[in-house]
Amino acid sequence: MDTRREVLALRAAVLAALLACVAADLWRARGRRDAGAEPRPPLARGALALWAAVPIGFMVFLWWDHAAFPFQLEVMEETLLGHITRAAHGLPVYPEPTPDYVALAYNPLFYYLCVPFTWVFGEHLEAARIAAIAGALGSGLLIYASVRAWTGSRWWGWIGLGLFASAYRAMDTLLDNAHADSWLLCTALAGTYLIDRARTRRARLLGVVVLVVSFWFKQHGALFVLGGVAFLTWRESWQDRVAGQPRGWAAWRGWRGWRGALPYWVVAAILGPGLYLAAARWPFGPAFHYFTWDVPRGWSRVNTETFVRVARFFWVHYGVLAIAAGALTLVAIARAVRDRDALRVWHVQLAAAVCSAVMGSLDWGSSDNVFIPLGGFLIVVGTVGLAELVRPRTPALRAVQATGVALAFAALIYAPETVIVSPRAAAELADFAATMRGLPGPVYAPDIGPAVDGVPLFHPGAHWVALEDMGRGPGHTDADRARAYALLAAVVAPRGEAYIISYRPLDSLPPPVALLAPRYRLAADYGERWGALRTLPRRWVTPETYPRFLYRYAPPGALPAASAPVAQR
């Protein structure tokens, strides 16, 4: 099946049906003008609301479909479960790296958030996925509430929610996986919503606190903290609009007004960088700062592709929403000179979300989940832009508005069968685990980690992503890459029989795992035998995204066992 052609055909069919409703509304409006009849409800409006229900319902189905999947939906899920298990048992999540455990470069709050879910669902992937789904549900409800409050329309809130559900593939199929992305988006939206709706300083402080929580899920949350506090600082620098007070620049209080924003900065500084610096060794472990600061800061690479990637991605998936959100923000900035309330925190946070997308794109090896926050804020501000910028005073303007909404939906359509998991997964997982246990030697699974759904199966357990992260990018040295390679000593020179099970050919994996290729020979290609265990599609996912290639230790004599070659991607 040609999935690309299928998607294009589906988009064309849906768009044609929606535009036909728009054309029918124009025709009916013309007839009513001639006859002097009362206007009837627009057909396009009902059709768009009905279409929004389709992705919303499908997203709920995917949550049910994915939650109990017995294997990893994404190549880091099993490793993330190991982090959650350590947190549940009171062990440091960031110890010094060992062959069996290398921490990933994420901030720790998601691991601890999942602990109460493990009390109910056990220390399984299902617990972590349900925790992530709670964050996705919260994000959707916040998008609905934010758009509804801004526009005063439940219909527009429903459209915003429908666009969020439609963006499941655009958001890298990661919102219901055992990852922190759904909670980063949820807390960034929640903090922004609280600041936007707050009428007291105490409520605005609560919004800042929630924004700081987003940083503890993932480092990019710091940008939303800065955006929220910057907006509040600007707001405090203007007189409140009450009768008799001056408007425009005459209302500007300058530096004196900024003192009113000091509590926001103090709270953000204490709960953010203050606590982060204080946690040098306790409670997260002695390598907390190494994995969450030293490792990721070495990934960044600035070039033309950094910005081209962001522009291309958002033009393809969110083009209409980006235009509407950008126009709405520019209008707000122009009006803010004379009317403080014209500029809202959502406009400022949209700029913070753009910065988060560019920061994510600085890491060439990142997946498209780094664009999730900008996608969420574009849906809010872009939906409002479609509602506010095109006032439907005439049938023609209503047609333009409905066409914009239809195009926004069409750009996010994807092939639904690509994200539905196989019912054969449990049986194939049992066969896979039995096959691995039957091998006459230890097995290293660089795509999986040490365990399958919490049950130890492989050794060593260092995941290729964590190992690659220690050495990739221009900010890391050969010494960093050699340190990562040294963690594979038990695989480089095993004492007897040893195996590697891989999703891809061994030499196609990133270093340092790819450096094992000269020492191992392909023992078996299992083909589609465990195809039901495939992961969900993402930026770097190829069709062979399930356990397939088995390698056996067979070192060539030309490569000394003590050597530790280094390489850079």
Do 464 and 395 lie in one domain? The reply is: no
Mark which of 418, 433, 467 sits at the end of a domain: 418
Find, among 364, 412, 377, the residue nearest to 540 by Cα.
364
Q: Identify the pLDDT of residue 257.
A: 60
Q: Is residue 358 one of the residues assigned to a domain?
A: yes
Do 347 and 448 lie in one domain? The reply is: no
> Residue 24 belongs to what H/E stretch?
helix 3-35
Alpha-carbon torsion (59, 62, 64, 66), positive or negative: negative
Do 412 and 442 lie in one domain? The reply is: no
Tens digit of pLDDT for each residue in 196-243?
A: 999 999 999 999 999 999 999 999 999 999 999 999 998 887 655 444
Q: Identify the pLDDT of residue 561.
A: 40
Give how far Cα 277 sits from Cα of 272, 273, 284, 295, 565, Å.
9, 6, 12, 16, 35
Do 20 and 168 lie in one domain? The reply is: yes
Tens digit of pLDDT for each residue in 252-293?
A: 555 556 677 889 999 999 999 999 999 988 999 999 999 999
Do 159 and 295 lie in one domain? The reply is: yes
Q: Identify the pLDDT of residue 558.
A: 40
Alpha-carbon torsion (25, 27, 32, 33), positive or negative: positive
Q: Is residue 500 one of the residues assigned to a domain?
A: yes
Domain limits for position 488: 423-553
Please work out, in degrees rounded to the nearest 5, the angle formed at the alpha carbon of residue 482 by the alpha carbons of 480 and 485: 115
What distance in Å separates the CA atoms of residue 147 and residue 307, rounded to the nearest whole number?
Answer: 29
Quick one: 484 exposed, middle or buried, by C-beta within 10 A (0-12, 13-18, 19+)?
buried
- The set of residues, in sequence order, having a beta carbon less than 8 Å from that of 156 and lying 6+ positions away, is 147, 148, 383, 384, 387
Q: Do residues 333 and 212 touch, judged by C-beta distance below 8 A?
A: no
Q: Is residue 236 one of the residues assigned to a domain?
A: no
Q: Can you list the residues of the chain whose pLDDT is less than 70?
A: 1-2, 31-41, 238-258, 392-393, 542-544, 556-569
Do 117 and 101 lie in one domain? The reply is: yes
Q: Identify the pLDDT of residue 35.
A: 47
> Which residues on neighbouring strands pair with residue 500, listed in sequence order?
444, 551
> Residue 552 belongs to what H/E stretch?
strand 549-553
Q: Is residue 380 one of the residues assigned to a domain?
A: yes
Tokens of 434: 């039995």
Q: Identify the pLDDT of residue 304.
A: 87
Q: Is residue 265 one of the residues assigned to a domain?
A: no
Q: Identify the pLDDT of residue 562.
A: 36
Tokens of 402: 């409905």
How many distinct structural domains can be found in the chain?
2
Mark which of 394, 418, 442 sits at the end of a domain: 418
Q: Identify the pLDDT of residue 242.
A: 45
Do 308 and 183 lie in one domain? The reply is: yes
Q: Identify the pLDDT of residue 251.
A: 55
Do 31 and 124 lie in one domain? The reply is: yes
> Which residues on neighbouring strands pair with residue 101, listed in sequence order?
98
Length of the chain: 569
Q: Is residue 216 one of the residues assigned to a domain?
A: no
Do 335 and 413 lie in one domain? The reply is: yes
Q: Residues of 118-129 as b/e, b for ≥16 C-beta within 10 angstroms?
A: beebebbbbbbb
Do 163 and 40 lie in one domain? The reply is: yes
Do 40 and 177 lie in one domain? The reply is: yes
Mark which of 418, 450, 484 sits at the end of a domain: 418
Do 375 and 481 lie in one domain? The reply is: no
Q: Is residue 47 one of the residues assigned to a domain?
A: yes
Q: Counting runs of H as helices and runs of E as strands, what totals does the chain give? A: 21, 6
